[in-house]
Amino acid sequence: MRRAMVASMLAVAIAATAGACGGGASQKSTNGSKEIEVLYKTSPTWPYMDRVLKQAKTQYEAAHKGVTIKLTAVQGENEVYYTKLALLNRSADSAPDVYLHDTFQVNADVAAGKLAPLDDYLKSWADWGSQYPDSVKQAAKGPDGKIYGVPISTDTRGLWYNKDVFAKAGIQVPWQPKTWADVLTAARAIKQKVPDAIPFNIYSTKPLGETATMQGFEMLLYGTPGGTLYDDTQKKWVASSKGITDSLSFINTIYRENLGPKQADAFNPKLGDKVSGEWLPSGKLGIDLDGAWTSSAWKPTGTKPWPQWTEKIGWTPMPTQNGEAPGAVSMSGGWVMAMSSYAKDKKDSFDFISVVTNKENTLTYSVGSGDLAPRKDVAADPQYTAGNPAVKFWTDLASVTHYRPAYEVYPKVSAEVQKAMEAMTTGAKTPDAAAKEYADALVGVVGGPDKVTSGS
Amino acid sequence: MTVSTVTPPRLAGSPGRGEPRRRARTTLRRLLPLVPALILLVVFMAGPILWSVYIAFTNETLTGSASVNSRFVGVDNFVKMFGDEDFRNSLLLTFVFVVGSAVVGQNTLGLIIALLQRGRGRVVRSVVNGVVIAAWVVPEVVAAACWFSFLSEEGTLNEVLGAIGLSQDWLFTAPMIAIILANVWRGTAFSMLVYSAALSDVPGELLEAAAVDGATTWRRLVHVTLPLIRRSILSNLMLITLQTLASFGLIYALTGGGPGTASQTTPLYMYEQAFRYFEIGYGSAMALVMLVIGAVFSLVYLRLIKVDG
């Protein structure tokens, strides 16, 4: 039993005792100097935030004598980071003062009282008024209308394709699919004529987490007529709709016709690294439904430098189901720098956030990560567009983009979506059965039958 | 590693019948030095355990509004649990995993290795022991990494089997078999050590006498050796059952519970609910159920040991 409860007991024990014993490391004031702890994620294939924060630490400490920035990196994928952050946030003593936060988690943390509103500080920060477009400012807006984070990145999603594979399959480039059927036709042609390439990649399993929900399912659903997870006018979650069933059917078709990755790859949490690091550069993948940042791996400073990518790779919007207006669909999310409500030196903490998100650092981050820049001055900077002919295309997708209904229960809704998608991937259920199961589960997840509706 | 005998703890010195007061004072004096340790144990062990029992009856989450206004929900978590198809599936898989890897796998293999080693030369014993125990000594995650590289698509097994056209992605096509094999490989050493110790207590004369009476090797094993080491068998079964029931790291690192929920045993499901979907109350409720299952198993085994003794 002792190796045991590893999972729950250990963390439970930590959470319970940390409060009582004050085990936290932050906020130690030794001889009058202050320390601000900053939590963020990093990984060998995603070192960009690490670089930026180290740069910001140097700048900040030079200007603020007596304040030390303590950088705490979490190694691993997004899912690991969310868990780690949630556990550290359990107690005021262990909570970091400033952290990198995924916008879709913001509302849950606002509801839990973990985040500090930034409005008072933003008022006196000129950049906020002059450099951030209004749409971007909403990224971390709480239900109370207050702002809980300064955006460091935003993104859009669409289709990447390998032109060599397309040439072998006899598909004309530039490729401009108008409907889902066009996408399937191209994938089938690749399967037939280029047997050693995977025709189409869509993220569709639980190990991929939110990536699957957003890059996979939502890119389909929001392209169906009236397709949405949440009905804004009725203020209810959509439990069942033709769009939901059709989106699941699309994924089902991909896997039943063997147009997608092999099952084992579909369940690999590092599938994204495989796609950008191996498959697309080596012509093992035809079409990839993915984010704007995919090409960042191929930069000279990336994890898989590939200068020829600008000629070998094409990009095009993900079409709507039957070409309905506006003809294309995209989803946007992004990350913000947020401040903990437990932070002792809130003014200093915000000052650090404003250094991290200043022009120079945002530029470093955007150029490195390939994420779209939230700041106007960065977007206009020649360095930002240099070497990436696709960046304008991805930025322009903002005109057709959708945002997730990032309410407090969204992460749980997202988990149910992943379950349904996964059943399509394995073929365990029919699209109708999985859609029905989603509808049934949703009621419990969002808190009762009065909070759901059925769409068209 | 002495697990073959379970003797109840006995206080040194026999208490005199007529002096309960003095006895109480002596006990108190003996307990006094233990007080600091006891307090620490209460704070660091009992506290968290009691807290996790408590939150099993609440709707506590790691974040969101329920984390600030968590309330007592009675047995809601348990009702939800038994209506949860994934949870029932996880219990079934846990059962298969425990029976397959501990009760059958580790236990039998450990006994066989111990039996085969009897009467062999020192060199043979050292080499076999060394090899078997090495698997036990490596950390769980390292063991999982070894098995991953052996079974994965471009792994050693497929390289060999590819020659005869049998290669496939084992972790995907047969995840339960993969984790059972890995756990047998890793845990056999423990059973082997227990049985080696137990077998060394079996008197050689008895076996010789049985042989003289014309008993075959098999009959000697079934009628002489096994009855003599029965208590060790039960103790061993109890320990490995409890260990395997809660096994997490190996499965997590090897298959992550997947594909889908194909190898998601209850500890993995518990982890997913508690730390991935932040339902710490629900996760704790599951931990409690696991605790009860473990306790029932131990009681049954302990009972059997007692009856036997």
Domain termination residue (choose one: A347, A367, A395): A395
Interface of B with A in 130-159 (CB under 8 A): 140, 153
Residue with structure tokens 């473990």? B294
Domain termination residue (choose one: A395, A417, A438): A395
pLDDT in tens, B172-210: 888 999 999 999 999 999 999 999 999 988 888 888 899
Structural domain span for residue A434: 157-332+408-454
Transcribe A393-452 into DSSP letters. HHHHGGGGEEE----TTHHHHHHHHHHHHHHHHHT-S-HHHHHHHHHHHHHHHHTSGGGE
What's the structural domain count of chain A? 2
Sheet of A150-154: strand order equals: A67-75, A34-42, A98-102, A334-339, A150-154
Tell me the shortest Cα–Cα distance from A6 to chain B, in angstroms: 7
Tell me the shortest Cα–Cα distance from B213 to chain A, in angstroms: 45
Contact B249, B141 (CB under 8 A): yes
**How many angstroms separate the CA atoms of A318 and A323, rounded?**
10
Name the residue type at position B18: G
Is A105 in Cβ contact with B275 (below 8 Å)?
Answer: no
Interface of A with B in 425-444 (CB under 8 A): 426, 428
Residue with structure tokens 């077998």? B199
Is there a single domain that holds both residue A241 and residue A360? no
Contact A402, A219 (CB under 8 A): no
Measure CA B219 to chain center: 31
CATH number of the structural domain spanning residue A135 = 3.40.190.10
Tell me the shortest Cα–Cα distance from B177 to chain A, in angstroms: 16
Chain B hits for A415, Cβ within 8 Å: 276-277
**Which of B47, B169, B267 lies closest to A7 in CB terms?**
B267
A400, part of any domain: no
Is there a single domain that holds both residue A315 and residue A415? yes
Chain B hits for A342, Cβ within 8 Å: none
Sheet of A328-332: strand order equals: A318-319, A328-332, A401-403
A442, part of any domain: yes
Name the residue type at position B145: A
Strands A334-339 and A98-102: antiparallel
Is there a single domain that holds both residue A281 and residue A424? yes
Best A2, A5, A77 member to test B by mutation, with max B CBs in 10 Å, is A5
Tell me the shortest Cα–Cα distance from A88 to chain B, in angstroms: 10
Is there a single domain that holds both residue A111 and residue A203? no
User: For each of chain A's 456 residues, which pLDDT tens digit applies?
Assistant: 344 444 444 444 434 443 344 334 444 444 567 899 999 999 988 889 999 999 999 999 999 988 999 999 999 888 889 999 999 998 899 999 999 999 988 888 998 899 999 999 999 999 999 999 887 888 888 888 899 999 999 889 999 999 999 999 999 989 999 999 999 999 999 999 999 999 999 999 988 889 999 999 999 999 999 999 999 888 899 999 999 999 999 999 999 999 999 988 998 888 999 999 999 999 999 999 999 999 988 988 788 899 999 999 999 999 999 999 899 999 998 899 999 999 999 999 999 999 999 999 999 999 888 888 899 899 889 988 887 889 889 988 988 888 888 888 888 899 899 999 999 999 999 999 999 999 999 998 888 888 998 875
Is there a single domain that holds both residue A305 and residue A382? no
Is A206 in Cβ contact with B172 (below 8 Å)?
Answer: no
Instruction: Estimate the share of chain A in helix, then strand, then coil, as percent rounded to the nearest 5.
Output: 50, 20, 35
Interface of A with B in 395-414 (CB under 8 A): 408-409, 411-412
Tokens read off for A77 = 């994928």
Is there a single domain that holds both residue A139 and residue A33? yes
**Which of A12, A112, A264 lies closest to B48 in CB terms?**
A12
DSSP H helices, chain B, are: 20-31, 35-41, 47-55, 65-68, 76-83, 85-97, 107-117, 122-137, 140-151, 156-161, 170-173, 175-199, 204-212, 217-220, 226-228, 230-245, 249-254, 266-271, 280-308
**Which of A17, A86, A267 lies closest to B258 in CB terms?**
A267
Is A8 in Cβ contact with B270 (below 8 Å)?
Answer: yes
End-to-end alpha-carbon separation of chain A, Å? 51
A444, part of any domain: yes
A204 contacts: CB under 8 Å, gap ≥ 6 = A212, A216, A217, A251, A255, A260, A266, A421, A422, A424, A425
**Which of A8, A87, A112 lies closest to B65 in CB terms?**
A112
Contact B236, B250 (CB under 8 A): no
Is there a single domain that holds both residue A193 and residue A313? yes
Q: Which one is predicted more confidently, B46 or A20?
A: B46
Sheet of A452-454: strand order equals: A230-231, A236-240, A452-454
Tell me the shortest Cα–Cα distance from A179 to chain B, in angstroms: 30
Give the Cβ contact number of residue A405 at 10 Å.
Answer: 18
Contact A137, A171 (CB under 8 A): no
Q: What is the DSSP letter of A153?
A: E
Is there a single domain that holds both residue A113 and residue A132? yes
Q: Where are the beta strands (DSSP E) in A195-312?
A: 198-201, 230-231, 236-240, 285-291
Measured in residues, chain B has a length of: 309
**pLDDT for position B163:** 79
**How many angstroms separate the CA atoms of B94 and B12, rounded?**
43
Q: CB-side exposure of B164: number of CA atoms within 13 Å?
A: 4
Is there a single domain that holds both residue A161 and residue A277? yes
Contact B49, A22 (CB under 8 A): no
**pLDDT for position B3:** 44
Interface of A with B in 61-120 (CB under 8 A): 79, 82-83, 86-87, 89-90, 105, 108-109, 111-114
pLDDT in tens, B249-295: 999 988 888 777 889 999 999 998 898 888 899 999 999 999 999 99
- Judge whether A10 is closer than 8 Å to chain B, CB to CB: no
Task: Tell the burial category of B188 from Cβ atoms under 10 Å away from its Cβ (0-12, 13-18, 19+).
Answer: buried
A401, part of any domain: no
Is A9 in Cβ contact with B274 (below 8 Å)?
Answer: no
A4, part of any domain: no
**How many angstroms separate the CA atoms of B44 and B49, rounded?**
9
pLDDT in tens, B47-63: 888 988 999 999 888 88
**pLDDT for position B5:** 45
**How many angstroms separate the CA atoms of B309 and B303, rounded?**
10
Is there a single domain that holds both residue A273 and residue A419? yes
Contact B246, B294 (CB under 8 A): yes
Name the residue type at position B159: E
**How many angstroms separate the CA atoms of B272 and B276, rounded?**
5
Q: Which ipTM was obtained for this model?
A: 0.77
Interface of B with A in 42-101 (CB under 8 A): 43-44, 47-49, 51-52, 55, 62-65, 67-68
CA triple A123-A149-A77, angle to 5 deg: 160
Chain B hits for A260, Cβ within 8 Å: none
Q: CB-side exposure of B31: number of CA atoms within 13 Å?
A: 8
**Which of B52, B153, B247 lies closest to A9 in CB terms?**
B52
pLDDT in tens, B98-149: 999 999 999 999 999 999 988 888 898 899 889 898 988 999 899 999 998 8
Per DSSP, the three-state class of A340 is strand
Domain architecture of chain B: domains with CATH: 3-47 (no CATH), 76-308 (1.10.3720.10)
Counting DSSP H helices and E strands in chain A, the numbers are 22, 15
Interface of B with A in 235-294 (CB under 8 A): 242-243, 245-249, 256, 258-260, 267-268, 270-271, 274-278, 280, 283-284, 286-287, 290-291, 294
Residue B256 phi, psi (nearest 5)? 65, 15
Residue A71 phi, psi (nearest 5)? -90, 125
User: How far are the Cα atoms of A267, B98, B250, B251, B263 from residue B93, in angstroms, in the given order?
Assistant: 19, 8, 15, 12, 7
A170, part of any domain: yes
A263, part of any domain: yes
A22, part of any domain: yes
Cross-strand pairs, A39: A72, A99
Is there a single domain that holds both residue A417 and residue A321? yes
Interface of B with A in 178-217 (CB under 8 A): none
Chain A hits for B294, Cβ within 8 Å: 1
Is there a single domain that holds both residue A328 and residue A339? no
Is A3 in Cβ contact with B248 (below 8 Å)?
Answer: yes
Tell me the shortest Cα–Cα distance from A257 to chain B, in angstroms: 19
